A and B are shown apart, each in its own frame.
Chain A
Amino acid sequence: MASKFYKTALSNGLTILGEANEANVSAAIGFFVKTGARDETDLESGVSHFLEHMLFKGTPTRSAIDINLELGNLGAQANAFTSEESTVYYSAIIPENFRAMQELLSDMMRPLLDPEEFAMEKKVILEEIALYQDRPHFYLFENAFKDYFGQHPAGNSVLGSHESVSALSRDVMKSYFDRRYSPSNIVLAATGNFSWESFVSDAERLCGGWENFSVLRDTPRYAGKSGKRNILRKNLSQSHAVLITSGACAQDPERYPLSLLANILGDSSGSRLYWALIDKGLADSASVDNDERDGTGCFSTYVSTSPERLDEVLSIARSVLASPLDFSEADLERAKSKIVSRIVLDGELPMGRLMALGMEWSYRRESTPLSVIVERVQNVSRGDIEGALKRFPLNEWSEYRLLPE
């Protein structure tokens, strides 16, 4: 049975999207807040992510334990994440508990920010920061993007540092919330087996009273920079490196040809880097990604290998990247097959569709049916990739290496 797409907005600006399909055995629901690390000042570093945790820590009518137990009672597969640009609260849920889940999630969106819970959760966040300190790949990316973007907010750290989070106060968090969590900066979306009519009327009842105010985000394009930097770390066994250059932003139609090119160059199997590095046993990991951000973008290449081979691996990677058009028509068609298959498979479950729907609206204020996205991928030609390369020539890289101290 085909999905039905719906869209409306409450008078306070909350956008509501739905893609209903009675054939699904489950539903998914989520709030997509267009806020993240890039919207923080230096003194607020880490607050978006900390606030995401605090939404699970109580509201005027529910304690933290109430929320946890209710999620359990509903059999919800609920979670949340924060990125540089978005904070998303979501759940997969069986249809009979959909309305109760909507009620709970909506209540969570107006948190109490209880001072005792704030102090307790700060300890949890500091543990999370310590956890990621032990992951070299994350450590490299955090430092590389920070340096690459320099003063541009796209490089802000999502977790923040031990120092910045330690220094955060409840008042700073409250003022951040009051500045960013306006209904006009939020999308409520649902997919799968649910009723659109009751979804909207419940949203009106539960969220209609949220006060609207204007929320701004500067989205300057970042011109990029080139250079080389080594980051040293004790007790490291493998070396890691990332090359970063300018790429297409989330609103740029050329994100399609660049994504296809990224797949041809660095997909996890069957790509040019795969055959040049992994198949030959030179590296244990190699990937290329067009990282679409709001108003700016970057194109990155990651490798990991043993420290003594890093020079050789990077030199091979750079030579592959230096001839981006060195692919056949069959290579292009193969990359399309891989991407189309992924889009269809990911879009099949309510949760997969929810993420695509909510994120697309957050970034582009549009909703594209899967069939149209598939068509756009299918229509990309070699000429389109050549055109994209004129704007994003992939020749001025910033190189970051994570090496044993």
Chain B
Amino acid sequence: MIVTEQLANGLSVIIEEIGHVESAAYDLLIPGGLICDPSDRIGSGLIFAEMIGRGAGSLDSRALSEAFEDSGIRHGEWLGMDRFGFSGSLIASKLPRALELVALMIQEPRLPEEDIPNIQSVLLQDIAALNDNPARRVSIELSKRYYPAPFNRCSLGEAEGIRLTDRACMLNMHREMFGPQRAILSIAGKVDASKVLGELKSIFGGWQGSSIDLPEFATISPHEYTHIEVDSAQMQILMAAPSVKFAESHYYTGKIAVSLLGSSMFGRLFMELREKRGLCYSVYARHGANKSYGTVTAYVGTTPERAQESLDVLLTEFGRLRGSVTQAEVDRAKTNLKAALVMGEESPGSRASSNATDWWLLKRVRSLHEISDAISAVSIADINEFLEQFPFAPCSIVTLGRTPLQVPSDIVRSIK
């Protein structure tokens, strides 16, 4: 059973009762995030997401941390592209305590000035460590080139922005963004919805503050190939092309089309690159979408001498999908999407998060039935029509490794 309600202060609340579990999970989303960092302080949101756990109300940093741990609450405060998130999972009886602590953090964070240099130091180390993680680095390098500003920001922030962030910047962020009006609190697990709703009203009812408008998304114009020279054992190859947005009617068509290529085990890329040619260990294609844009990304990691063939086969598979899709493939993709849906149903964490995401993007929660029907309805004709609209070319490609590759000029317009 799912209960939704908007509290008097504007906070949207979603509660799902799951009968056969002992745990519960929460997700609180507040508009903000990396795209809202001041342009000369990119990374300040990351510092804020760290700072907000360092003491609130009468609890100093250590006392707050211990309050969560005393109740065995696994929690995380994080920064996304367009939101701040507060997530946790716990034994269900600890839910009121968890919510009290979250409410304290968002309303009365201490934001201790003396902790800022320590957090800056760890975040700067994370940036330095990116050089030691080629797979993560290629993804950041691609986003930087593919998306329009500010959606192309590095998820680790920028060194200069991190260094310049001070407590005044933190206080600003809290004042401007941390209001209930556009926030969403999603709870799932072994809970009694009406009891939790009552508790929420007393815990969050007094929360006040302003919310911000998120920046508009500009158009993507993918057309470049970039090679970054790195002396690594494997070459990282990543491509991105536009696809359908989340709320659009062809959303599940896009998801299925991409899974025909990118699913582990039975997708065409896995079959053609790994199973038939032994070119790589890791290869995938994924479909990601939100309100403003949809993206298909495809990745392969391989040793330098097999990199050109890997890219060629990957692009060939993308190019030949339209018109070659079989019913058996589509059925398999649908079965997998639906099985994942059913299996996700029993995890409070995944329910809390997917309900919150639905509300964030659609202002309502879809039933499993509705999603399942949407998946069932997709036909081969829909897929071909989708592929005509989103042909995956031109695209953007970034490679990271010893030597650049040859990329056909009809796939990317210019080679840098």
Bind each other: yes
Contact with A along B132-175 (1 / 0, CB 8 A): 11110000000000000000000000000000000000000000
Q: Please state if A349 and B132 are interface contacts (CB–CB under 8 Å).
A: no
Known A134-B134, A235-B230; contact A281-B346, beta-carbon cutoff 8 A: no
Tell me, in angstroms, the Cα distance from A71 to B306 when the chains sit together. 28
* B389 interface residue (CB < 8 Å to A): no
A340 touches B122 (CB 8 A): no
- Contact across chains for B69 and A127 when beta carbons are under 8 A apart: no
Tell me which of A69, A130, A133, A348 contacts B23 (CB under 8 A). A348
B265 touches which of A71, A130, A305 (Cβ 8 Å): A71
- Give chain B residues whose Cβ lies under 8 Å from the Cβ of A75: 335-336, 338-340
Docked Cα-Cα span, A94 to B117, in Å, equals: 50
- Neighbouring B residues of A25 by C-beta, 8 Å: 342-343, 345-346
Which of B121, B276, B302, B340 lies in contact with A77, CB distance below 8 A?
A: B340
Instruction: Determine whether A110 belongs to the interface, using a CB cutoff of 8 Å to chain B.
Output: no
CA distance A238 to B70 in the complex (A): 33
The answer to whether B281 and A337 have CB atoms under 8 Å apart is no
Q: B271 within 8 Å of A by Cβ? A: yes
Which B residues touch A136, using CB under 8 A? Answer: 132
Binds A, one of B60-68, B209-217, B240-248: B60-68
From residue 59 to 82 of chain A, which have CB atoms closer than 8 A to chain B? 64-65, 68-69, 71-78
Contact B266 A24 (CB under 8 A): no
Q: Which residues of A contact B303 (CB under 8 A)?
A: 126-127, 130
Residue A282 CB within 8 A of the other chain: yes
Q: How far is the CA of A349 from the CA of B345 in the complex (A)?
A: 11
Closest to A128 in B: B281
Contact of A281 among B74, B118, B270 (CB under 8 A): B118
A122 CA to B335 CA in the complex, in Å?
Answer: 31
Q: Give Cα A71 to B280, complex, Å.
A: 21
Are B72 and A341 in contact (CB-based, < 8 A)? yes
Q: Which residues of B contact A304 (CB under 8 A)?
A: 125, 129
Smallest Cβ distance from B299 to chain A, in angstroms?
Answer: 12
Q: Is A344 an interface residue (CB 8 A)?
A: yes
Whether the pair B265, A337 counts as a contact (CB closer than 8 A) is no
* Cα separation A125 to B65 with both chains bound (whole Å): 43
A1-56 with Cβ < 8 A to chain B:
1, 21, 23-26
B355 within 8 A of A: no
Q: Is the CB of A234 within 8 A of B70?
A: no
B72 touches A338 (CB 8 A): yes
Q: Does B89 contact A (CB under 8 A)?
A: yes
Determine the distance from Cα of A284 to Cα of B156 in the docked complex, in whole angstroms.
Answer: 13
Bound complex: CA A93 to CA B346 (Å): 13
Interface 9-mer from B14-22, B290-298, B377-385: B14-22
- Cβ-defined contact, A69 with B266, below 8 A: yes
Tell whether B413 is near chain A: CB-to-CB under 8 Å: no
Query: Which residues of B are found within 8 Å of A133, using beta-carbon distances?
Result: 233-234
Question: For residue B336, which residue of chain A has the nearest CB?
Answer: A75
CB distance from A317 to the nearest CB of B (A): 16
Say yes or no for B232: interface residue by CB 8 A criterion. yes
Across the interface, do A269 and B335 meet the contact criterion of CB distance under 8 Å? no
**Which residues of chain A have C-beta atoms less than 8 A from B271's C-beta?**
65, 68
CA distance A127 to B115 in the complex (A): 43
Given known A65-B275, A121-B278, A337-B70, contact A344–B22 (CB-CB < 8 A): yes
How far does the Cβ of B351 sit from chain A's closest Cβ, in whole Å? Answer: 11
Which of A134, A282, A305 has a CB less than 8 Å from the CB of B233?
A134
What is the CA–CA distance of A282 and B132 in the complex, to the nearest angstrom? 19
Task: Tell me whether A342 is interfacial, beta carbon within 8 Å.
Answer: yes
**A197-238: which residues lie under 8 A (CB-CB) from chain B?**
234-238
Binds B, one of A172-180, A272-280, A356-364: A272-280
Chain B CB within 8 A of A333 CB? yes
CB distance from B264 to the nearest CB of A (A): 8
Is A64's CB under 8 angstroms from B275's CB?
Answer: yes
Q: How many A-B residue pairs have CB under 8 A?
A: 176
Please give, as numbers and ranges, the residues of chain B lying within 8 Å of A131 by CB-CB distance: 233-234, 281-282, 301
Given contacts A25-B342, A26-B343, A128-B281, contact A341 B121 (CB under 8 A): no
Write out the residue numbers on chain B whose beta carbons fall within 8 Å of the beta carbon of A23. Answer: 19-20
| Chain A residue contacts of B107, Cβ below 8 A | none
- A345 interfacial by beta-carbon distance below 8 Å: yes
Chain B residue nearest to A192 (CB atoms) is: B346
Please give the distance in Å from B292's CB to the nearest CB on chain A.
Answer: 30
A390 contacts B by Cβ under 8 Å: no
Complex contacts, B129 vs chain A, CB 8 Å: 237-238, 284, 304
| A123 close to chain B: CB less than 8 A | yes
Shortest Cβ distance from A29 into chain B, in angstroms?
A: 13
Interface membership of chain B positions 74-109, coded 1 if the CB is closer than 8 angstroms to chain A and 0 otherwise: 100000000000000111000000000000000000
Chain B residue with minimal CB distance to A275? B62
Q: Is A324 an interface residue (CB 8 A)?
A: no
Cross-chain contact B74 with A237 (CB below 8 angstroms) = no
From the candidates A74, A123, A134, name the one contacting B278 in the complex (CB within 8 A): A123
Contact yes or no, A72 B234, CB < 8 A: no
Known: A282-B121, A344-B91. A235 touches B231 (CB 8 A): yes
Chain A window 116-148, contacts with chain B (Cβ cutoff 8 Å), 1 for yes, 0 for no = 000011111111101101111000000000000
Any chain B CB within 8 A of the CB of A295? no
How many Å lie between the Cα of A306 and that of B127 in the bound state? Answer: 11
Nearest A-chain residue to B130, judged by Cβ:
A237
- B69, B278, B342: the one contacting A26 at CB < 8 Å is B342
Q: B270, B276, B335: which has the most chain A beta carbons within 10 Å?
A: B335
In angstroms, how far is the closest chain A Cβ from the Cβ of B252? 16
A238, B133: Cα distance in complex, Å? 11
Residues 310-343 of B, flagged 1 when their CB comes within 8 A of A and 0 if not, give: 0000000000000000001001110110111011
How far is A125 from B340 in the complex, measured between Cα atoms in Å?
A: 28
Q: Tell me, rounded to whole Å, the shortest Cβ–Cβ distance linking B1 to chain A.
A: 15
B279, A123: Cβ atoms closer than 8 Å: yes
Q: Are A130 and B230 in contact (CB under 8 A)?
A: no
Indicate if A393 sits at the interface (CB-CB under 8 A): no
Alpha-carbon gap, A237 to B133, bound state (A): 10
The contact string, 1 if C-beta is below 8 Å from chain B, for chain A 92-128, is 1110010000000000000000000000111111111
Complex CA gap A235/B230 in Å reads 9
Chain B 1-50 interface residues, beta-carbon cutoff 8 Å to A? 19-23
Structural contact, B66 and A270, CB atoms closer than 8 A: yes
Residue of A21, A25, A127, A128 with highest tally of chain B CB at under 10 A: A127
In the complex, A69→B115 CA distance in Å? Answer: 53
User: Which residues does chain A contribute within 8 Å of B340, judged by CB atoms?
Assistant: 75, 77
With most chain A CB atoms within 10 A of its CB, the pick from B72, B131, B135, B333 is B72
Interface residues of B (CB under 8 A from A): 19-23, 61-62, 65-66, 68-74, 89-91, 115, 117-122, 125-126, 128-135, 230-234, 263, 265-266, 270-271, 274-282, 301-303, 306, 328, 331-333, 335-336, 338-340, 342-343, 345-347
Query: Which 6 pairs between the two chains have the least Cβ-Cβ distance?
Result: A75-B339, A341-B72, A281-B118, A123-B278, A281-B121, A23-B20
- A-B contact list, 16 entries, CB within 8 Å: A25-B342, A25-B343, A71-B265, A72-B335, A74-B339, A120-B275, A130-B233, A130-B303, A134-B233, A237-B132, A270-B65, A278-B122, A284-B122, A284-B125, A330-B70, A334-B70
